[in-house]
Amino acid sequence: MTLKAALIQMDIAYGDPQANYRKVKDLIAEAVQHEVDVVVLPELWTTGYDLTRLDEIADKEGLESLSFLKSLAQEHHVYIIGGSVAKRTQQGVTNTMFVISHTGELLSEYSKAHLFRLMDEEKYLIEGNHSGLFDLNNHKCAGLICYDIRFPEWIRTHMLNNTKVLFVVAEWPEPRIDHWRSLLISRAIENQCYVVACNRVGSDPKNNFGGHSLIIGPWGEIIAEADKDETILYGNIHLEQVDEVRKTIPIFSDRRPDIYKL
Ligand SMILES: NC(=O)CCC(=O)C(=O)O
């Protein structure tokens, strides 16, 4: 089975959710002209990293962004990996990914598990404690948010149930874009899975963001890669290739968890 993905590598209006809703609506309408099955948005696409104003601009219980994404998914009959949004809850603000089916159902909600101190996340956000696993058209997938890709042990826990695609959403700064590329390629090779990773571009008062959204195959090959301009990146995911690679080098049956205890 083949899935065509569209990655919305966009600039984000800093602290201006309404401007970002308008922009995402237009970009998704453009992406679906290319007969895609799944659209991926970047991290914190409603607010950017305007963390000091989250009291004002975080989405209360994620209700506005959820209803926005559900209605677009239904209108265009497309799966949406909804990047992430700042979601205001009773306990605090989370950095949360919503995954929506082509019929407008919420398939999964994942809150970033590893908060990134270099961008002050731990001062303004609370961490999630649950995995980002979901089923897309009967295929096991997982969602990850940016800094999460530096934690292979976390990602491996998602892979032990035949997960075939990792969807990564990010606001990854340009000075570490080599890390971004190397980490994503490594995660694809070590887990023999597709990695579909959407970064933002542009800048905010503290960072320039590096783009280079990527679709990587289970052999570690780059299927599509953007540069650092605003664009929509398209590429095909051939899910049966995951099984072929896992048959060629059967790492999941060769694992030795009995000796991996720390
Ligand atoms: N938004 C993020 O989590 C950024 C992570 C990052 O830049 C890194 O180097 O890790």
Q: Sort 28 into a burial class: Cβ within 10 Å, 0-12 / 13-18 / 19+.
A: buried
- Cα of 97 from ligand 1 centre, angstroms: 16
Shortest-distance atom of ligand 1 to CA 170: 1
- Cα of 114 from ligand 1 centre, angstroms: 10
For range 85-114, the mean pLDDT: 98
Note whether 52 and 124 are within 8 A (CB).
yes
For range 140-166, the mean pLDDT: 96
Of all protein residues, the one whose alpha carbon is nearest to atom 9 of ligand 1 is 176
CA distance linking residue 67 with residue 57, whole number of Å: 16
pLDDT score, position 262: 66
Pocket test residue of 118, 145, 168 for ligand 1, highest count of atoms within 8 A of CB: 118
The pTM is what? Answer: 0.98
Share of the chain above pLDDT 90, in %: 97
Instruction: Give the mean pLDDT of the chain.
Output: 97
Whether residue 164 is predicted with pLDDT greater than 80 in this model: the reply is yes
Lining residues, ligand 1, CB within 6 Å: 43, 116, 119, 146-147, 150, 171-173, 176, 179
Say whether the ipTM exceeds 0.95.
yes
Of all protein residues, the one whose alpha carbon is nearest to atom 10 of ligand 1 is 147
Closest among 162, 24, 19 to 82, alpha carbons compared: 24
Of all protein residues, the one whose alpha carbon is nearest to atom 8 of ligand 1 is 147
- Cα of 171 from ligand 1 centre, angstroms: 7
pLDDT score, position 27: 98
The 10s digit of each residue's pLDDT in 125-147 is 999 999 999 999 999 999 999 99
Domain locations along the chain? 2-259
Confidence of residue 8 (pLDDT cuts 50, 70, 90): very high
- Cα of 35 from ligand 1 centre, angstroms: 31
The 10s digit of each residue's pLDDT in 217-231 is 999 999 999 999 999
Of all protein residues, the one whose alpha carbon is nearest to atom 3 of ligand 1 is 147
pLDDT score, position 261: 80
The 10s digit of each residue's pLDDT in 40-84 is 999 999 999 999 999 999 999 999 999 999 999 999 999 999 999
CA distance linking residue 242 with residue 35, whole number of Å: 23
Note whether 108 and 132 are within 8 A (CB).
yes
Catalytic residues: 43, 112, 146
What's the CATH code, domain 2-259? 3.60.110.10
Of all protein residues, the one whose alpha carbon is nearest to atom 7 of ligand 1 is 172
CA distance linking residue 49 with residue 124, whole number of Å: 10
pLDDT score, position 214: 98
